[in-house]
């Protein structure tokens, strides 16, 4: 797939992806693709905020444009989780998937992105992580993957479920309040597609009205980390084109633990 950016050198590309197999530096694999995308001089950098990355990217894009730094920003969520998933781990193997999704954010007469509610929770830092760390290989030079294992995603399911449902539903409500709306003004709820149990329990906790369409792309594309919200948004707009122009609550959350959410007007 190729994407063309029609703007000049003051456009930006935010590459939102945490689970990258290739190398840590240069930090943006999307730089490899920039020429194909029609603007080889655009600023480009990675955001490493795991499954919250897309909403972090939306927040930064909005502020880059509002601050006059950029005219348009391409926010790309791209992940290759299969390189970091243990196929024998029953807790993760059936959930995680590879995927990519993107949006272009530009200036508009009326604001289409509400204030971002974001933060982190370092107390639960170990509840989602890659083990072993890269430095473990350096520190044990006579050992390799055979001895140490490959850094696959390890997740404490119950801890993450509890945090995601009961803390993130509060974040969602804060994002609605910050945008000056209530749940009955939402057209759609598009949270990170972590797990459908989390999604439906979050919606229940937030007491979202039945008329709010809830994205369920987890059933089709799985959990693609930072790519899951743009993929779910695209799927939702394809199945429900009448939602275009309506308001959606998006909320990303994941390893860190980190989170971000905002109300957006759907394209």
CB of 124 to other proteins, least distance (A): 9
DSSP 8-state assignment for residue 113 = B
Q: Given phi > 0 = left and psi -120 to 50 = alpha, else beta, which region is 75?
A: beta
51 as an active site residue: the answer is yes
CB atoms under 10 Å from CB of 21, counted, come to: 10
Of the pair 116, 155, the CB lying nearest other proteins is at 155
Helix (H) or strand (E) holding 140: none
Residues in touch with other proteins (CB under 8 A): 156-159, 161-162, 165-166, 197, 201
Separation between Cα atoms, residue 46 and residue 56, nearest integer Å: 11
Which entry of 72, 192, 195, 221 is annotated as an active-site residue? 192
Q: Does the active-site annotation cover 139?
A: no
Which residue in 51, 55, 195, 221 is the catalytic one?
A: 51
Q: Which residue, 24 or 158, is less far from other proteins as judged by CB?
A: 158
Taking the least distance from each CB to other proteins, the nearer of 123 and 184 is 123
Residue located via tokens 């449902």? 165
For residues 14 and 74, is the Cβ–Cβ distance under 8 A? yes
Least Å distance, CB 249 to other proteins, is: 22
Cβ 196 to other proteins shortest distance, Å: 10
Of 101 and 222, the one with the shorter C-beta distance to other proteins is: 222
Q: How far apart are CA 227 and CA 255, in angstroms?
A: 14
- How many angstroms from the chain centroid is the CA of residue 21? 18
**Based on the number of CB atoms within 10 Å of its own CB, is 43 exposed (0-12), middle (13-18) or buried (19 or more)?**
middle
Task: Give catalytic status of residue 192 as yes or no.
Answer: yes
Q: Supply the minimum distance, in Å, between the C-beta of residue 114 and other proteins.
A: 28
Active-site annotation, residues? 51, 192, 223
């Amino acid at each position: 797939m190729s994407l063309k950016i029609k703007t000049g050198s003051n456009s930006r590309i935010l590459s939102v992806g945490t689970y990258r197999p290739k190398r840590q530096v240069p930090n943006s694999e999307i730089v490899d693709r920039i020429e194909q995308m029609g603007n080889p001089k655009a600023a480009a950098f990675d955001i490493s905020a795991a499954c919250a990355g897309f909403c972090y990217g939306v927040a930064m894009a909005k502020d880059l444009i509002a601050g006059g730094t950029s005219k348009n920003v391409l926010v790309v969520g791209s992940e290759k989780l299969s390189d970091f998933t243990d196929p024998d781990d029953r807790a993760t193997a059936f959930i995680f998937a590879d995927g990519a999704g993107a949006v272009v954010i530009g200036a508009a007469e009326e604001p289409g992105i509400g204030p971002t509610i974001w933060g982190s929770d370092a107390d639960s830092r170990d509840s989602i992580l890659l083990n072993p760390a890269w430095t473990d290989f350096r520190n044990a030079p006579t050992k390799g993957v055979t001895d140490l294992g490959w850094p696959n995603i390890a997740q404490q399911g119950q801890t993450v479920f509890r945090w995601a449902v009961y803390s993130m539903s509060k974040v969602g409500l804060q994002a609605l309040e910050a945008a000056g709306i209530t749940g009955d003004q939402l057209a759609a709820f598009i949270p990170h597609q972590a797990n459908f149990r989390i999604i439906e329990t979050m919606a229940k906790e937030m007491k979202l009205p039945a008329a709010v369409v809830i994205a369920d792309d987890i059933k089709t594309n799985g959990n693609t980390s930072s790519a899951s919200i743009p993929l779910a948004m695209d799927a939702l707009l394809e199945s429900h084109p009448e939602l275009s122009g309506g308001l959606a609550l998006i909320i990303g959350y994941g390893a860190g633990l980190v989170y971000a959410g905002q109300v957006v007007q759907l394209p």
